[in-house]
Amino acid sequence: MPGAGKLPATVCRLLVPMILFAMLGACIPLPPRNELARWVPSRNHELRKPVLIVIHHTEEDSVEESLHTLRSRNSHGPVSAHYLIGRDGTRYQLVADNERAWHAGAGSWHGLTDINSISIGIELDNNGIDPFPVAQIDSLLVLIEDLCNRHRIAPGQIIGHADLAPSRKVDPSRQFPWKRLAEAGFGLWPGDLDSEVPSGFDPWLALRLIGYSLDDRPATVRAFHLHFRGTENTELDDEDLRILHALTATILDTAHH
């Protein structure tokens, strides 16, 4: 007779796999299901697909301070980003790529307003005044290349927070090296500026074609200048017309191919 409290060996062999299966099942979250409806799963679905990368600066003084802000409720409410890159190039991921982080807020790009749902947010540890260290930008380029390759994000679909929210934001600051990103194949940058701007060229239509909202035109011009000229002026000049003409030519050429 088996000793008291012991189970037969055959029973143990049956129970062990069942227990392990139950333990594994407890660790794997089930897909959300509504108890009010019968579950009839379809394979015709997919996870959120980001199509845009938005770059920010933290406007704080350290990675530690930024990590705290991005993971807690601060004075302006909870905010987050998918990634934070330190000044030494260290990358931190706070939100999965296929989940919606709270980094963009109110704004629009190409007429789309729920930017958080279609974008990946990258914060750079920077106080908004200092230049961005080489190591930090090198690290950013590695991350951007990875994100564009894995999620098939078009290389031109990389913008700053100010581009989508010109009335509210100025990040990343005018110190950000957009030209360097363009030289690596990412973001928009004007090509040949020697081409003559045709008579009747409409700079506002060009800004809209690039993606900007025209709801607040002086703010939009300031955002455009931050990105393409490293200034914060709010009026267009002849150099802007040359830049806008070159940008629209680049966009239209890309569309044709």
CATH assignment at residue 97: 3.40.80.10
Question: Please, what's the b/e burial string for 176-194 (b: 16 or more CB within 10 A of its CB; e: otherwise)?
Answer: bebebbbebebbbbbeeee
**Predicted pLDDT at 31:** 58
Q: Indicate whether 171 belongs to any domain.
A: yes
Name 58's Cβ contacts closer than 8 Å, sequence gap at least 6.
Answer: 65, 66, 69, 84, 123, 124, 125, 126, 127
d(CA 133, CA 138): 9
Domain boundary residue among 183, 212, 242? 183
Q: Indicate whether 167 belongs to any domain.
A: yes
Q: Indicate whether 125 belongs to any domain.
A: yes
Most confident stretch, 7-16, 20-29, 48-57: 48-57
Statement to judge: residues 154 and 208 lie in one domain: no
Q: Indicate whether 119 belongs to any domain.
A: yes
Q: Is the peptide bond before 172 cis (omega within 30 degrees of 0)?
A: yes
| pTM of the predicted model as reported, rounded to 2 decimal places | 0.84
Name 60's Cβ contacts closer than 8 Å, sequence gap at least 6.
Answer: 66, 69, 125, 127
**Predicted pLDDT at 48:** 84
Average pLDDT for residues 115-128, to the nearest whole number? 97
Q: Which residues pair with 56 in a beta bridge?
A: 123
Indicate the number of domains in the chain.
Answer: 2
- Amino acid identity for residue 221 in this structure: V
Q: Is 163 helix (H, G, I), strand (E, B) or coil?
A: helix
Average pLDDT for residues 166-170, to the nearest whole number? 96
d(CA 201, CA 6): 89
Domain range enclosing 165: 52-183
Statement to judge: residues 166 and 124 lie in one domain: yes
Q: Indicate whether 144 belongs to any domain.
A: yes
Measured CA to CA in angstroms, residue 239 lies from 38, 123, 178, 236 at distances of 62, 30, 17, 8
Statement to judge: residues 65 and 154 lie in one domain: yes
Average pLDDT for residues 110-130, to the nearest whole number? 96
Q: How far is CA 98 from the centre of its chain?
A: 11
With contact defined as beta carbons under 8 Å apart, do 177 and 130 qualify? no
Q: Indicate whether 11 belongs to any domain.
A: no
Domain boundary residue among 183, 216, 240? 183
For the stretch 72-95, pLDDT in tens is: 876 677 899 999 999 999 999 999
Active site residues: 123
d(CA 124, CA 18): 48
